[in-house]
Chain A
Amino acid sequence: MNLLLVEDDLDLGNGVRIALANQGMDVVWVRRLGDALRTLDGGTFDMVLLDLGLPDGDGLELLFRLRRDKQILPVLVLSARDALDDRLRSLDDGADDYLVKPFALAELLSRVRALARRSYGFNDETIRMRGLALHEPTRGVIVDGEPVELSRCEFDLLALLLKRTGRVVTRRVMEEQVLPGGQANGSNSLEVHISNLRKKIGQGYIRTVRGIGYVIDVQSLVRSTPK
């Protein structure tokens, strides 16, 4: 994977370059907005890691030009600005993700991989997670090699959880996005759908966070196979 890293800080830029190179990624590191624009014109990249405060301009400038030229190149913004406004502005301007400094290397790697996965539709739009495979266009779900029949709601819930693997999806978001009629649909129906979903795909995938929402953990993938 070819990455363009735009970061003016010497130590941080060099550190990120080495850390990503250790993971087998090809990183081109530039320290100025002008260099970044020239480098982008000259080569093909799979992703841009962009710092916002650059000595010769705002990183958002690059973002703006990319989007103006209708380039779908994914951009991950690395910034010291953590105010909500800054994040919203970056995302509005076309950034795909936003990471506030200082960040953990693991977090950076997972976001880079997630972005790569998302933007290139790895495996024909199939999301794979442990023994689960979900194919959105055909609304098909395979558990441990066996196809499973899911209702519309159950499929949408599973898709929502799988797209945000490792992050808790709140009950409110689930109710608003998946359940017909939204929250007005009785407070138990979300539990009923999740319960049915668990019966069909197995108990080991979806973890309940009481009162808050549900999550499919990444860690279990590393720890063991689903029970």
Chain B
Amino acid sequence: MDDEQIFRKNRDDLIRYAAVLVGPTAGEDVVSTVVLRVLARRRLGDLDDARAYLFRAVLNECKTRLSRTRTQPLGNVEITEPSVDEPRPEVFEAVMGLPAQQRAATYLVYWAGMSTLEAAELMGLRPGTVRRYLHLARHTLKGVLDVT
């Protein structure tokens, strides 16, 4: 598989992943930046696991951007009055206020449907670390949801 095919195969997943981490409008820019940075040094096809490599690189880039701006990506997402089916704004803020690693873990496991082992491989972490992030994120959200 050549570099273009690898990118084409993983691009949309990476953009969604980045969007969850830095906000929907910046997701595509993050992915383009990361891929160009990788391509400046090597071919995607030379990587042992290009998909995992790109996911980790996107997470690192998102963390760097968040640390530079010191802001959460709330400004990129319109928060409207909640309908019956939509989460309340404070719940939305709580999720977007989670550390990037916790958001990444919850996104990969709860939205993308990965196992903790699969998520750990993509994030370059031990499964136990991912489980800890899930626990911390759930604890935070549970407090906001006030579920018993």
Interaction A to B:
no
- Give me the interface of B with A, judged by CB distance under 8 Å: none
